Amino acid sequence: MTMNLSPRFLLAVAVGGFAVSAAAVETISFKRQVLDPRFYAESIAAADFNHDGNPDLLAGPFWFEGPAFTKRTEIAAPHAFDKESYSNAFIADAADIDGDGLPDAIQIGWPGRPAHWLKNPGAAGGDWPRHLIYPFIGTESPHFAKLITGQSEALIFASGKKLGYATRNPVNPAAPWTFHAISPEGEWQRYTHGIGAGDINGDGRADLLSYNGWWEQPASLVGDPVWKFHATDFGRGGAQMYVYDVNADGRADVITSIEAHKYGVSWFEQLAPAAGSSEPTWREHAILSRDPAEKLGDVQFSQPHATVLADIDGDGLLDVVTGKRYWAHGPKGDPEPNAAAVIYWFKLTRDPVTKAVTYTPHLIDNDSGVGTQFIVTDLNNDGRPDVAVANKHGVFAFIQQRTP
């Protein structure tokens, strides 16, 4: 999840694998650091909270000072949660909400509960005053997306059985944000999975994605009109969804996990409309199989509840990063709850002749996993993406290393 309301850092995820440079093949590895083994959050964010030039990490009630991440500062009363229960920090972000030059903390709690931003007090220290963004944030993977041209990023989610987005008050940053519904009342509720944004039809306007189709942004948003719906089967409800031209054919494709608490990650190739139709057709390509018994690239794991796109190896192509959400519903819920809590990145390769696409898995870690949202950003200012996660295993940073 990114938010460009202030200078900040690229989100995503990475580790383990190979990167190709012009000079030689380099091996990519990641140095694992446990910031805290306790369960504070299932989300994490990065920003330079103290303006020292180094990215810091925000997880639950703390921000951890970079680049060492050994010093922490409270932004709220610390509370470690029972690992068989849930935290109050499902989604995290950071941005300068009030325009004072300091990044503030953004936290979204349990699905269906409020989102808040916490004002950074700066060098004076002390309390981080809490301000309401919106009182009811539905869907399990709300995130900030560049949705409306010329505006700062919007928070996309569902509320009141409608899909939509919220925008802040440019005059009064402390005021609650305004929700704009783009759908009629329907099945949207607090635990709905799968949401994203991107320009599907190439008209220069970002469309809204859901697991069952995409909503076309109209030319005018005056009066908050209902957006045109294009029914498409993108699975049963995964995590964050992305729009990206995977095979470089000039058409936007969709990347999503298939079912957040079961199996499957795919990219859906957009094809030309069938004869006599104006609707695009779609072809699914599995990155991780929907079939629990099938391994692709010798890899299979359940519960891909958070996903990110990121150029892990610096080849200019966006790779897919995801992992297993550890104990999403405790030690006995969901398929294989006690299997290794892995994180993988899947390297995107395009054949220069046939244009065929391949995603090759590379293990990041096998004892951390993802939560409901995680990030990748350059945490040590070396120009390479690093990884940070927070979940029921704790808070972790993975710093990228490269060797010839």
Tokens 């610096």 sit at which residue? 314
Q: Is the pLDDT of residue 13 over 80?
A: no
Q: Helix and strand tally (H, E) in the chain? A: 0, 29
Name which residue leads in pLDDT, 277 or 244. Answer: 244
Q: What percent of the chain has pLDDT over 90?
A: 88
* Mean per-residue pLDDT, 115-136: 96
Q: Is the pLDDT of residue 360 over 50?
A: yes
Torsion angles phi and psi, residue 123, rounded to 5: -65, -25
Q: Which helix (H) or strand (E) holds 30?
A: strand 25-36
Confidence of residue 24 (pLDDT cuts 50, 70, 90): low
Note the pTM of the prediction, 2 decimals.
0.92
Q: Cβ contacts of residue 148 below 8 Å, gap of 6+? A: 154, 165, 167, 206, 221
Q: Is the pLDDT of residue 181 over 60?
A: yes
Side chain identity at residue 16, one-letter code: G
pLDDT tens digits along 294-323: 999 999 999 999 999 999 999 999 999 999
- Omega prior to 184 cis, within 30 of 0: no
- pLDDT at residue 12 in the model: 36
Q: Is the pLDDT of residue 372 over 50?
A: yes
Confidence of residue 355 (pLDDT cuts 50, 70, 90): confident
Name which residue leads in pLDDT, 95 or 10. Answer: 95
